[in-house]
């Protein structure tokens, strides 16, 4: 926990239980706390954090805690830096993670600049991750609650921001967070967690969202020898490892998507194969950034999706060389490296590994 002080802290309150408790803990530690909810998405939402009801929850929790609450409209930034690139990535056959981009551009950049302008040296969120001091500087580390750890989607936070960031619930379990919220009689104590992409509704789904913005392209489905097996109507919705919805005749062994080639300017191709074809020894990297010193050829642990299991490997020659065969990763997915203490030491974007 932060040392008692009267430092003003701007706390991002999404309307969920974690950020509610984060605000309460900072207040309890003696900080001057101001809550802020970012309004990012003006369209329909039934999954995420931008609904008016969530703003209401954040405001009422702030009222309950006796702190000020403001709403900042960063809708245009969100459209430009998150939604637009998300759509563009899908059109280019990539698999984006918009939560990571929202953290990169909105929560830990745009809002930080706003905090600077308003005179807040400190900011805080309710994420399950920790900031720990190391001789090399502050580092992001996994949250205590392994099942809730969000360090993967936060790996893009710059060191200059980590230095001023409080993550008060990262050091506790979700059960503890809910218990504190219940003790404080916060209305968010039993609120279900937000899931999925906040700007895509469960009702209409990703296909409808993308279809409204870009022409969806059909793709030829073939086997690894190039023999045509069928077609799919929208290559933008096909992902590596997918088994269903490929329009393939039954009867044979299950077949999985092992490659998606949706580069612009030519007919997209989806290649299917056996489960064994999904296992690779190397995941090539399109880009990579070490947090502190470069740790090439060092045994590290790598995570490739928000809730994926970490796997051992090394960064070698612009790729991740796995200690044991690893499931293939789609172009555009983020790969995050951790050291033995669960600290984020690097991160980057997976490149396509053709058959």
Closest approach of another protein to the CB of residue 198, in Å: 14
Least Å distance between CB 232 and another protein?
A: 38
Nearest to 128 by CA among 342, 328, 354, 274: 342
DSSP code at position 332: T
Give dist(CA 127, CA 124) in Å, integer. Answer: 9
Does 187 bind another protein (CB under 8 A)? Our answer is no
CB of 103 to another protein, least distance (A): 20
Which of 75/292 has CB closer to another protein?
Answer: 75
| From candidates 60, 114, 206, 275, binder to another protein by CB under 8 A | 114
Regarding 116 and contact with another protein (CB under 8 A), the answer is yes
| CA 153 distance to own-chain centroid | 3
> CA–CA separation, 60 vs 20, rounded Å?
10
Closer residue to another protein in complex, CB, 42/325: 42
Choose between 59 and 174: whose C-beta lies nearer to another protein. Answer: 59
Q: Which residue has the tokens 């090399």?
A: 136
CA distances from 138 to 11, 164, 294 (A): 20, 10, 16
Please list the alpha-helical segments (H only) found in the chain: 17-28, 52-65, 75-78, 84-91, 98-102, 111-118, 151-154, 159-162, 174-183, 205-211
46-85 footprint of another protein as x/- string (CB under 8 A): ------x--x---x----------xxxx-xx---------
Q: Are 236 and 251 in contact, with CB atoms under 8 Å apart?
A: no
Q: Which of 49, 198, 304, 343 is catalytic?
A: 198
Q: Which residues pair with 219 in a beta bridge?
A: 232
- Pick between residue 117 and residue 147 the one whose CB is nearest to another protein: 117
- Binding to another protein in span 271-330, by CB under 8 A: none
241 and 259 Cβ atoms separated by less than 8 Å:
no
Q: 143 with 128: CB under 8 angstroms?
A: yes
Closest to another protein by CB, 117 or 249: 117
Q: Spot the catalytic one: 50, 102, 304, 343.
A: 102
Pairing of strands 165-166, 122-124: parallel
Contact characters 189-228, another protein, x per CB under 8 A: ----------------------------------------
C-alpha 86: how far from chain center: 12
Q: Which of 6, 66, 113, 212 binds another protein (CB under 8 A)?
A: 113
Known catalytic residue at 102 = yes
Residues ≥6 apart with Cβ < 8 Å to 63: 69
Interaction between residue 37 and another protein (CB under 8 A): yes
Catalytic positions? 102, 198
Contacts with another protein, residue ranges (CB under 8 A): 37, 39, 52, 55, 59, 70-73, 75-76, 113-114, 116-119
């Amino acid at each position: 926990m932060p040392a008692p002080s009267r430092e003003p802290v701007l706390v991002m309150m999404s309307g969920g239980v974690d950020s509610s408790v984060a605000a309460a803990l900072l207040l309890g530690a003696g900080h001057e706390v101001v809550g802020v909810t970012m309004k990012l998405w003006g369209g329909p939402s039934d999954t995420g954090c931008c609904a008016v009801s969530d703003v209401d929850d954040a405001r009422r929790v702030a009222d309950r805690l006796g702190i000020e609450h403001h709403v900042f409209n960063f809708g245009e930034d969100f459209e430009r830096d998150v939604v637009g690139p998300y759509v563009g990535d899908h059109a280019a056959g990539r698999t984006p993670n918009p939560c990571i981009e929202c953290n990169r551009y909105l929560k830990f950049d745009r809002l930080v600049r706003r905090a600077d302008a308003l005179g807040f040296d400190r900011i805080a969120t309710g994420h399950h991750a920790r900031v720990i001091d190391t001789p090399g500087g502050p580092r992001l580390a996994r949250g205590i609650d392994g099942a809730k750890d969000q360090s993967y989607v936060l790996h893009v936070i710059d060191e200059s921001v980590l230095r001023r960031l409080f993550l008060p619930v990262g050091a506790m379990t979700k059960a503890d967070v809910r218990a504190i919220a219940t003790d404080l009689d916060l209305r968010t104590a039993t609120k279900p967690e937000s899931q999925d992409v906040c700007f895509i509704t469960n009702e209409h789904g990703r296909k409808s969202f993308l279809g409204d913005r870009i022409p969806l392209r059909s793709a030829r489905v073939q086997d690894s020898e190039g023999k045509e097996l069928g077609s799919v109507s929208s290559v933008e919705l096909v992902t590596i490892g997918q088994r269903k919805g490929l329009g393939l005749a039954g009867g044979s062994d299950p077949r999985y998507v092992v490659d998606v080639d949706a580069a612009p300017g030519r007919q997209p191709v989806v290649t299917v194969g056996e489960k064994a074809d999904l296992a690779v020894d190397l995941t090539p990297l399109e880009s990579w950034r070490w947090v502190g010193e470069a740790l090439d050829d060092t045994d590290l642990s790598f995570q490739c999706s928000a809730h994926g299991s970490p796997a051992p490997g090394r960064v070698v020659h612009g790729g991740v060389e796995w200690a044991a065969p690893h499931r293939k990763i789609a172009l555009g997915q983020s790969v995050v490296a951790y050291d033995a203490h669960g600290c984020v030491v690097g991160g980057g974007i997976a490149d396509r590994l053709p058959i």
